């Protein structure tokens, strides 16, 4: 029995590296500083009105839905996937409480405590929280700023493979990197997974946000469907982060059956959000085009401004709405805090996310940051200029401190 401690699991679950610095920005804002928030993936774009219209027209009792979600919504997902050439039937799709729950259920479905999942770092930070929550070990292969965070070679995966490896997990397009993997790369990974009886958990929540005419391939484009699990979410593509509507889709019957049992345990996804989501699937191509054009313009602004920073390592990402970059500071978490506590330009400062929480390997990411371009062009340009000035000022201040 011993003491009234919390579990080791609870102690080990990491706080969100993105959310844990919020108290510093709150404090800056309380001092009257205007903080440009490039730290969090919450887009500023409007939520489509059709979403609210559908919710407003709901009549009846706000009752549970089927644990797997409304069949009409599963059908909409299926139609949507087929437009992308992805052969998911409605029965292959389970509606989840955001992409978060889809990731949690996918990890739980394939891995027991002590099992290993290979992740391509830097990766979406909450993967680590889900794995820790489930006592699953994340084993990293590392992508590098110097080559645009491209997928590491298969030999790197072979090196970390053990008898406990159960799956490979990565986002594509990438968060925090914005990297879109090539079809050659994905094909190799799928073959590797197939040859070693591994699952691939492919996080495709940024599927349509790609630039310069590039298309993001779904992992489902590469055969071996029994091995593949897709995580999805409406949050980013429709600016409905608060709706908590995502999906897990797979052709693997055993995984589907397992995930359905997990869905039953929490009874039902949100009913009204599901009705709203039905409307979102009716938006046409022009909606997506407008959104993607807007993000592409913003990406170009950020690249334009930040590529001027002396010592920065930065590639132009092809998707999502993030930049990851190596910057000439000793500790990016300290730097992010310092920007909030000690630096401002005309009463304004910029907040970004330090990248160490996006790595499993200790010490990696300490000189990297993530920039979410979730502000309109004019503010974004100013935010980047402030960031650039901040990096310069921080460097000279540290130099002075060392003298």
Closest to its own copies by CB, 43 vs 390, is 43
Listed in sequence order, the residues at least 6 apart from 286 whose beta carbon sits closer than 8 Å to its beta carbon are: none
For the bound state, the minimum distance from the C-beta of residue 179 to its own copies, rounded and expressed in Å, comes to 22
| Partners of 250 in beta bridges | 229
- Say what the alpha-carbon torsion angle 156, 208, 130, 105 is, to the nearest 10 degrees: -110
Shortest spacing between CB 385 and its own copies, in angstroms: 26
Instruction: Give dist(CA 3, CA 304) in Å, integer.
Output: 56
Q: Please give the structure tokens belonging to residue 88.
A: 């998911």
CB 335, CB 260: distance < 8 Å: no
**Cα–Cα distance measured from residue 180 to residue 202, given in angstroms and rounded to the nearest whole number:** 12
CA distance 99 to 48: 19
How distant is the alpha carbon of residue 68 from its chain centre? 23
Residue 159 or residue 196: which is nearer to its own copies going by CB?
A: 196
Specify whether the CB–CB gap between 205 and 231 falls below 8 A.
yes
Give least dist CB 337 to its own copies, A.
18
Torsion region of 31: left, alpha or beta (phi above 0 gives left; psi -120 to 50 gives alpha): alpha
Q: What's the min distance (Å) between Cβ of 238 and its own copies?
A: 9
Write down the least CB distance from residue 229 to its own copies, Å.
11
Smallest distance, its own copies to C-beta of residue 195, A: 9
Q: Taking a C-beta distance cutoff of 8 angstroms, is the pair 380, 37 a contact?
A: no
Least separation in angstroms between CB 110 and its own copies: 6
Min dist CB 113 to its own copies, Å, is 5
**Closest approach of its own copies to the CB of residue 325, in Å:** 24
Assess contact for 353 and 336: CB atoms under 8 A.
Answer: yes
Residue placing its CB nearer to its own copies in the complex, 84 or 192:
192
> How far apart (Å, rounded) are the C-alpha atoms in residues 98 and 205?
10
Residue 211, Cβ density class (10 Å: 0-12 exposed, 13-18 middle, ≥19 buried): buried
CA atoms within 13 A on the CB side of 160: 22
In whole angstroms, how far apart are CA 17 and each of 39, 175, 192, 326, 347?
A: 10, 14, 31, 17, 25
Residue closer to its own copies by CB (options 16, 385) is 16
């Amino acid at each position: 029995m011993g003491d009234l401690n919390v579990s080791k699991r609870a102690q080990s679950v990491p706080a969100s590296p993105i959310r844990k610095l919020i108290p510093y920005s709150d404090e800056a804002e309380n001092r009257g500083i205007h903080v440009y928030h490039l730290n969090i993936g919450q887009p500023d774009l409007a939520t489509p009105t059709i979403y609210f219209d559908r919710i407003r027209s709901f009549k009846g009792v706000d009752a549970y839905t089927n644990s797997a979600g409304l069949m009409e919504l599963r059908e909409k997902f299926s139609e949507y996937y087929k437009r992308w050439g992805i052969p998911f039937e409605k029965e292959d799709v389970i509606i989840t409480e955001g992409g978060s729950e889809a990731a949690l259920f996918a990890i739980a479905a394939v891995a027991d405590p002590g099992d290993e999942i290979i992740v391509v770092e830097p990766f979406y930070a909450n993967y680590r929280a889900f794995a820790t929550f489930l006592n699953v070990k994340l084993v990293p292969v590392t992508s590098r700023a110097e080559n645009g965070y491209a997928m590491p070679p298969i030999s790197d995966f072979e090196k970390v493979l053990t008898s406990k490896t159960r799956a490979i997990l990565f986002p594509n397009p990438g968060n925090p990197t914005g990297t879109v993997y090539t079809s050659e790369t994905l094909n190799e990974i799928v073959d590797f997974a197939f040859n070693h009886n591994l699952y691939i958990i492919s996080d495709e929540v940024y599927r349509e946000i790609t630039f310069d005419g590039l298309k993001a391939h779904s992992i489902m484009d590469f055969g071996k469907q029994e091995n593949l699990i897709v995580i999805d979410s409406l949050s980013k593509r429709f600016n409905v982060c608060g709706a908590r509507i995502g999906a897990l889709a797979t052709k693997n019957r055993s995984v589907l059956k397992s995930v359905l049992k997990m869905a039953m345990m929490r009874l039902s996804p949100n009913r009204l959000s599901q009705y709203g989501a039905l409307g979102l699937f009716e938006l046409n191509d022009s909606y997506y085009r407008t959104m993607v054009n807007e993000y592409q313009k913003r990406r170009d602004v950020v690249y334009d401004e930040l590529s001027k920073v002396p010592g920065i390592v930065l590639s132009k990402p092809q998707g999502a709405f993030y930049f990851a970059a190596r910057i000439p500071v000793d500790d990016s978490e300290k730097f992010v805090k310092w920007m909030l506590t000690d630096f401002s330009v005309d009463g304004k400062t910029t907040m970004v996310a330090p990248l160490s929480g996006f790595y499993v390997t200790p010490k990696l990411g300490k000189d990297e940051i993530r920039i979410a371009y979730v502000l309109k062009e004019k503010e974004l340009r100013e935010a980047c200029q402030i960031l650039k000035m901040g990096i310069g000022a921080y460097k000279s201040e540290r130099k002075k401190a060392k003298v």
